[in-house]
Each structure stands twice: as C-alpha cells, then as structure tokens.
Amino acid sequence: MGFVSKGEVKAGQKPHLNLAFIGHVDHGKSTIVGRVLYETGVISDHDLKDEAGSFKFAWILDRLREERERGVTIDLTHIKFETDKYYYTIVDCPGHRDFVKNMITGTSQADAAVLVVAADDGVMPQTREHAFLARTLGVTQLIVSINKMDLVKWDENRYKEVRDDAERLLKVLGFKTDQIPFIPMAALVSKENVIDGKSDWYDGPTLMEAFDAVTPPEKPVQLPLRIPIQDVYSITGVGTVPVGRVETGVLKVGEKVVFEPAGVSGEVKSIEMHHENITEAEPGDNIGFNVRGVSKKDVRRGDVCGHEDNPPTVVKEFTAQIVVLQHPSAIAPGYTPVFHAHTSQVACRFDQLLQKIDPKSGAVIEENPAYLKTGDAALVKIVPTKPLSIEKAGDIPHMGRFAVRDMGQTVAAGIVKDVVRK
Ligand code: GTP
Ligand code: MG
C-alpha cells in the first residue's frame, strides 16, 4: 500500500497508530477508552470493579496510568489494543488541569485524535481549545465522539445540534469536516456505535471502524535524527540509558550521537524497545539506548539526541508564529512564561511582537503591535533564558512546535518559523 513507508510494517506486523483522546473535562474520554479496552478483551469484567464494587471504566484506566507512571521501566509504551488491521497505542488521556500541557507532547505524537463531546453539555471551552491545539500541533485526522447519548435519551435532534456545532468549530479551524465521522455513543452504558450494534438513525461508522479508517502517516525516516529525551537511567551492568521517542530519522547501533544543548557525545552500544534488543530504531519507537562515553549526569530530560554529523539545533533566539489561547490581560514585550517544546521546559522572553496576523487568512493586520490578547495570532521574537534545542517547523515539523504555559494554563501555542543558532 502506498502510504506504508519503508519500515512501517516489519515482518508479520501490523502498522501502528497512535490515538489521542481530547475534549472537555468529564465528557467521557477515559470511559470511552475503557469501553474500547473492555470490548477488545484487553481488560476483563474482573478488572472493572472499583473499590465500591461498581463498574467504572474510567477507574481502570486511571489505575493503569498510575501504574505506568510509578513503574521504573524503560518501556514507555502507553495503553495498547489491536484490531485485524492495526496495533493501537492510546497516547494519553488525562483530563486534569494540566491536560493541555500533556497534550503538547501527547498530541504531537498522535496520528489521529478522538474529540469527545458530551451530548448533554455540547461544545464547551476546552472542546474548542483542544481542537485548536490538535490542529496547531499537526493532527489532521479527527474522529468526533458525541458521548453520553443516554443522558439525552438518544434524541436524534440533539445529536444533530451537537454535531453541527462541532462541525462549525472544526471547519473554522481548517479541518476537512466531510471526512470526519461524528459518532453518537453512550460508552458508559453500552457498546452501541463503539464496536457494533448501530442505532437505527445513525448510518456512519462505529468508533472501531473509524479507527481502522485512519491512514498511518509516512514515517519521517528521511529527516535528521531527533530523539527528545524523557528520562535518563543508570542501569547496573549496562550503563547510561537515555529514554525517549524517536521523532524523526533512524538510529542504529554503533552510531555516534550527540545530545544538545548538553553538548556531550558518545557511541550507541545497544537499543532496547519493549524489553527487546533491536539494531535500528525509527520514528514512533519508544526506546532506551545505551550510550558509551556519556554519564547520567551529562544528559537530562529536555535534551535532544541527534547524529554527531547533523546535531540538534540549539537556539539563542527564534521567530515564532503563535496564537494566544487564553490570557487574563495582555502579552507585552518582556513577558517571560515557560515554553514547553518536545520534552523540554524553558522560560523564554517575548522579546519583540513583530506582526499581528489574521488567523484565518494569514494577512498582516498590524506591524509591531504593543500587546497581544486572547484570540490574537502573531509573529513574535522569542529569547530563551537558557539554551534550548528546537527546530524550524519548516525543516523538522515534529520538533518545531511549542506551548506557552503560565498560571497553570496554556496561554499560547505556536510553531517556530526561523532560528538564530547559538
Ligand atoms: P477527565 O479525564 O476528567 O477530563 O474526564 P473524562 O473525559 O476522561 O471523563 P470520564 O470518562 O472520567 O467520565 C466522566 C464522568 O462521566 C464519569 O462519571 C463517567 O462515569 C461519566 N460518563 C462517561 N461516559 C458516559 C456516558 O456515556 N453516559 C453517562 N451517563 N455518563 C458517562
Ligand atoms: Mg479522563
């Protein structure tokens, strides 16, 4: 098949898809994931009782996540299930206040996102925010779940209302809505339209059919190697083992690599994925790799690994296109919030507001605006307070995106247009 790039399907393996669940708090993201895992046999009846003995899909999922976070393991894979066609990894599904922050790394890994909208509440502020971020972060394939249909008595008119609202929102953001399924469901109480058994008035795909209709993106194997480091372990008998997900390029045993901005280099002795040794890792692989010549204290989360002959870019300043998602007052030059790019978090200063831009047409509205408010899009010059490895989105899109966080919320998101190297 045309879309399956080199290395996508290893012998006897199905392609792998990463799915992100996004949407307003409490609209049922975890419950839908729980329903899918239950119906595909990943979790059993036995697993589904909470402390009080009642059924609770979301609870099992939160427990799985907690276990995953506590375990010191170099297997960074998330929750998995499979169909005849694909292996799926559910990227992340937290719904707490820092969800958006997690989404920056989560959704940038996602091949597709499921936007969950509860039928009773309809489109809410976080529905908009998450849809917007998914778009900014490069997710083009979307599935919309209109959940909690039981609460509106499976009323077809209410379904249409919520669907039309969601469709309008997504159209404005530039999604091709005629390719997006809007699937009514009540994941807590039934598998209807999730896995099989369709409602009489609904003739679209089930959630599982929609999953299988997602097109795996080409793996960016031709781009320079970039592995943002999530953690670094020191393992007895092995040595230093940085852990991360290959975003772009290919890593092979025996190669010389460098970590930036740390500026240390070494030779790759071994690569491990899912507790097995492999000789080559490619985009999408969550790996631990042993590097000779590098000690645990040399490298940390936020560093990026690349080949020594094509090292990750370290910037002293960069120009970015941003959109202000929510800010209680205004952003003016001098403002220094925390930027989250891949696995790094660095305070960066808004040095200059260059141009205010119309988010829909891209036309310049104002040169050198004095400040930016919620909803504004702009071209800005950013100066990190310490060295940061980030790339031009035009060169390596996966490494050229960021979120701006302040006061416990995401105030802006953007992409890197140009860099000044350090
Ligand atoms: P956050 O992670 O906190 O953002 O929430 P979430 O989107 O993961 O929602 P979650 O699955 O935790 O569900 C929130 C609440 O809605 C829970 O009490 C669920 O039991 C309930 N719920 C989820 N799906 C349905 C549904 O289809 N029908 C009804 N009636 N309740 C549901
Ligand atoms: Mg949840």
Please state, in angstroms and rounded to a whole number, the distance separating the CA atoms of residues 270 and 189.
47
Inform me whether the pLDDT recorded for 252 exceeds 70. Answer: yes
Q: Is the distance from the beta carbon of residue 29 to the nearest atom of ligand 1 less than 6 Å?
A: yes
- Ligand approaching nearest to the C-alpha of 28: 1
Please state, in angstroms and rounded to a whole number, the distance separating the CA atoms of residues 421 and 352.
18
Pocket probe mutation, ligand 1, options 21, 30, 64, 101, max atoms within 8 Å of Cβ:
30
> How far is ligand 1, taken at its centre, from the CA of residue 148, in Å?
8
The pLDDT of residue 382: 98
Task: Flag the least confident range among 10-24, 30-44, 204-218, 236-250.
Answer: 10-24
Q: Is the distance from the beta carbon of residue 95 to the nearest atom of ligand 1 less than 6 Å?
A: yes
- Location of structure tokens 């940061």: 388
Q: Whose C-alpha lies nearest to ligand 1, atom 5?
A: 26
The pLDDT of residue 21: 85
Tell me the percentage of the chain whose pLDDT exceeds 90: 53
Which segment, 58-72, 107-121, 203-217, 248-262, is predicted with the most confidence on average?
Answer: 248-262
- pLDDT tens digit string along 56-114? 666 555 555 555 454 322 223 357 788 888 888 776 544 433 445 555 555 446 789 99
Ligand 2 is an ion; residues with CB less than 5 A from it = 29-30, 95
DSSP for 18-66, please give it.
Answer: EEEEEESTTSSHHHHHHHHHHHTTSS-GGGGB-TTS-B-HHHHHHHHHH
The pLDDT of residue 376: 85
Collect contacts of 148-154 with beta carbons under 8 A, ≥24 apart.
148/27, 148/28, 148/118, 148/119, 148/120, 148/186, 148/188, 149/119, 149/184, 149/185, 149/186, 150/186, 150/188, 150/189, 150/190, 151/118, 151/119, 151/120, 151/186, 152/119, 152/120, 154/184, 154/186, 154/199
Judge whether 216 and 16 are in contact, CB under 8 Å. yes
> How far is ligand 2, taken at its centre, from the CA of residue 110, in Å?
17
Residue type, position 318, single letter: F
Beta bridge partners of 383: 349
Q: How many CB atoms lie within 10 A of CB 118?
A: 22
Task: Flag the least confident range among 45-54, 217-226, 275-284, 392-401.
Answer: 45-54
Prior bond of 184 cis (ω within 30°): no
Please state, in angstroms and rounded to a whole number, the distance separating the CA atoms of residues 187 and 148.
7
> How far is ligand 1, taken at its centre, from the CA of residue 178, in Å?
27
Atom of ligand 1 nearest to the CA of 24: 4
The pLDDT of residue 66: 56
Q: Is the distance from the beta carbon of residue 25 to the nearest atom of ligand 1 less than 6 Å?
A: yes
The pLDDT of residue 8: 38
The pLDDT of residue 59: 57
Q: How many residues are given for the chain?
A: 422
Q: Is the distance from the beta carbon of residue 27 to the nearest atom of ligand 1 less than 6 Å?
A: yes
- pLDDT tens digit string along 135-185? 776 788 999 999 999 999 999 999 999 999 999 989 888 899 999 999 999
Inform me whether the pLDDT recorded for 248 exceeds 80. Answer: yes
Q: Is the distance from the beta carbon of residue 193 to the nearest atom of ligand 1 less than 6 Å?
A: no
